[in-house]
Amino acid sequence: METRSYCFVLDHGLSAAGVWLKAIAAPVTAPATVILNDKGKKAAAAEVSDRVNRGEQVLAVDLLFTGDGAPQKPGPSDYTQMLASVGERPLGMEAAQLVGLARWLSKISGGRQVRLETTGIRSQVAARVAAALEPGLFSAVVVRDGMPSLRHLLDAPVEYQDAPDLFCLDLFKEFDLDRLAEMAMPGGRESR
């Protein structure tokens, strides 16, 4: 297996840690998948192994506030509050990171669409927003351990400290997950 670790430096000073993997026999143009997990890329080992064993190339990545990208002190909820206080939306920043990373992976894999797999509600929503912003970028979005609606944040209830990026001003007022999915893939191509 061929592996490379990356520290991606994106626009506006954002960075993301990722590991790119593929079987040695897999061609450079092999199908590509980005894998996200709310607990970080280390927790995605089974999903990564499955895709690599299918002959794909995989980018397991930690977006802002997840895995290696999560600050320890102060914690992610403090940083998201600071960003929101100056008008930034951490969820939008994560979606922008994901779009940039998927474009890079598409480019190195011969211009193919990239498959996207997520585990957890935070990764799910970042993926939905990214796919809605760039409808042609992803061939499929696969969600594990997600939620059916943003309403879940209120009904569960989900504590702010557990998913601070999802408490984005007016997100639920204007959108829900089904609408974001439809914006991303109007013809279907959706997986759960």
What pLDDT does residue 119 have? 98
Confidence of residue 36 (pLDDT cuts 50, 70, 90): very high
In a domain? residue 40: yes
User: Using CA atoms, how far apart are residues 116 and 33, in angstroms rounded to an integer?
Assistant: 6
In a domain? residue 122: yes
In a domain? residue 188: no
In a domain? residue 189: no
Provide the number of structural domains found in the chain: 1
Confidence of residue 150 (pLDDT cuts 50, 70, 90): very high
* CATH number for the domain that contains residue 41: 3.40.50.1820
Please provide the distance, in angstroms rounded to a whole number, between the alpha carbons at the two ends of the chain.
28
Name the residue with higher pLDDT: 72 or 63: 63
Tell me whether the omega of the peptide bond preceding residue 135 falls within 30 degrees of 0, making it cis.
no
| Biggest CA pair distance of the chain | 49
122-141 tens-digit pLDDT: 999 999 999 999 999 999 99
User: Lowest mean pLDDT: which of 5-14, 37-46, 141-150?
Assistant: 5-14
What pLDDT does residue 186 have? 60
Percent helix, strand and coil across the chain, each rounded to 5?
45, 20, 35
In a domain? residue 164: yes
What is the domain extent for residue 171?
A: 2-183
Q: Does residue 96 register a pLDDT over 90?
A: yes
In a domain? residue 176: yes
